[in-house]
A and B are shown apart, each in its own frame.
Chain A
Amino acid sequence: NAGVTQTPKFRILKIGQSMTLQCTQDMNHNYMYWYRQDPGMGLKLIYYSVGAGITDKGEVPNGYNVSRSTTEDFPLRLELAAPSQTSVYFCASSYTDRGRTEAFFGQGTRLTVV
């Protein structure tokens, strides 16, 4: 199993551009999450999904959109990129929402908006 795979690993965007961060998992997990991590800070939840066709906002959803058309994929869309969106983005998945379940994280996408 590859686990959680994120692409690209690095990206530089100009202000106002748009892009999609890709996330795919091969563990058949129902739950998927997008986090951002600013330098020296903890992870903040952007969006999450409890299954195909179902998504919901996390702590910091403004400026982002998501979709979940399949169990495997959970892309994160940035529209009109702003310097405040410069961050490292992590995708994660878990197979249930129960308290005894661990989450598996991707290796991150480092995004710079200039």
Chain B
Amino acid sequence: DAKTTQPPSMDCAEGRAANLPCNHSTISGNEYVYWYRQIHSQGPQYIIHGLKNNETNEMASLIITEDRKSSTLILPHATLRDTAVYYCIARNGGYQKVTFGTGTKLQVIP
């Protein structure tokens, strides 16, 4: 699975959009981009995933560049409850092949 690179931390004002970047320049054509978040040492929670098209669900939007070398997770109206560590993962096979890195610690500020 492709290695991903994320900034270690970000701040976002409450009510504003939080844009979390992820670099996956070595991603292969059949690898999906996944986003999870971990709130206060709870179990990681699935947010969204995509292959090449942009995706949106009730939690977030995922924008994948045309060359698929990077992506951005967008939380459209960040709330204090969105404060968490966000993990970007690129994978094709099972989770036994995944390395959960240290992610991006998002702090939503009142």
A residues near B, CB below 8 A? 4, 31, 33, 35, 37, 40-45, 48, 50, 56, 58-59, 88, 90, 92, 94, 97, 99-100, 102-108, 110
Contacts and interface: CB of A to CB of B under 8 A. Distances in A.
Interface in B6-52: 30-32, 34, 41-46, 49, 51
A45 B100 CA distance: 9
7 contacts: A35-B100, A42-B87, A92-B95, A94-B95, A99-B30, A99-B92, A108-B43
A103 B46 contact: yes
Contacts of B43: 4, 90, 92, 105-108
Given A31-B95, A99-B93, A107 B42 contact: yes
Which of B49, B93, B96, B100 has most chain A Cβ within 10 Å?
Answer: B96
Nearest to A42: B100
Given A43-B44, A45-B96, 7 more contacts: A41-B102, A42-B103, A48-B94, A88-B41, A92-B44, A99-B91, A107-B43
Interface string B72-110: 000000000000000100011111101111110000000
B26 to A, nearest CB: 15
How extensive is the interface on chain B, given as a class? 20 to 34
B95 A103 contact: yes
Contacts of B32: 99-100
Q: Is the interface of A mostly helix, strand, loop or mixed?
A: strand
Contacts of B42: 107-108
Nearest to A104: B46
Contact of A33 (B31, B41, B92, B96): B96
